[in-house]
Amino acid sequence: MAPRKWNRDNWPIAAAMIQYPNLLPDGRSVQDQSVEEWAATLADVVDAGFTELDPTDSWIRLADLSAERLDEFVGLTRSLGLTIPAISTSRRSLIDPEHGEEYLAYGHRVIEAAAAVGAGSVSFGFFGPLTEAQKKVLWFWTVDGVKNPDDAGTWQLAVSRVRELGRHAEELGIEVSLEMYEDTYLGTADSSVRFVKEVGLANVGINADLGNLIRLHRPVEHWQEMMAKVAPFAKYWHVKNYNRTEDPASGVIVTHPAPLEFGLINYRAAIRMALAHGFDSPFLCEHYGGDGLSVSAANRDYLRRILPRQEGH
Give the DSSP letter of residue 257. E
Rounded mean pLDDT of 206-211? Answer: 98
Per-residue pLDDT tens for 10-54?
A: 999 999 999 999 999 999 999 999 999 999 999 999 999 999 999
| Rounded Cα gap, residues 57 and 175, in angstroms | 18
Pseudo-torsion of CA 38, 44, 50, 52, nearest 10°? -20
The pLDDT confidence band at residue 4, using thresholds 50, 70 and 90, is confident
- Residue-wise pLDDT tens digits, 228-274: 999 999 999 999 999 999 999 999 999 999 999 999 999 999 999 99
Mean pLDDT of the chain, nearest integer: 97
Task: Assess contact for 87 and 110: CB atoms under 8 A.
Answer: yes
Predicted local confidence at residue 313, as pLDDT: 55
**In this structure, are residues 29 and 23 in contact, taking their beta carbons and an 8 Å threshold?**
yes
C-beta separation of 7 from 310 below 8 A: yes
Query: Is the per-residue pLDDT at 312 higher than 80?
Result: no
Helix axes 292-306, 267-275, angle to 10 degrees: 60
Please compute the mean of the pLDDT values over residues 175-185 and round it to a whole number. Answer: 98
Position 148 pLDDT exceeds 70: yes
Closest CA to 56 of 107, 17, 114: 17
Contact partners, residue 262, CB within 8 Å, separation at least 6: 241, 243
The pTM of this model reads 0.96
**pLDDT confidence of 223, banded at 50, 70, 90?**
very high
For each of the domains in the chain, give its residue range(s) and CATH number, in order of start. 13-306 (3.20.20.150)
**pLDDT tens readout for residues 71-116:** 999 999 999 999 999 999 999 999 999 999 999 999 999 999 999 9
Q: Where does the pLDDT of residue 3 fall: very low under 50, low under 70, confident under 90, or very high at 90 and above?
A: confident
Q: How many helices (H) and strands (E) does the chain have?
A: 10, 9
- Does the pLDDT of residue 2 top 80, yes or no? no
Strand boundaries in 131-229, DSSP class E: 175-179, 204-207
Looking at residues 278-303, what average pLDDT do you find?
97
What mean pLDDT do residues 131-143 have?
96
Q: Which amino acid is at 172?
A: L
Give percent of the chain with pLDDT exceeding 90. Answer: 97
What does the pLDDT average to over 130-144?
Answer: 96
pLDDT of residue 1: 65
pLDDT at 221 over 60: yes
Using alpha carbons, select from 169, 224, 238, 172 the residue that is nearest to residue 199: 169
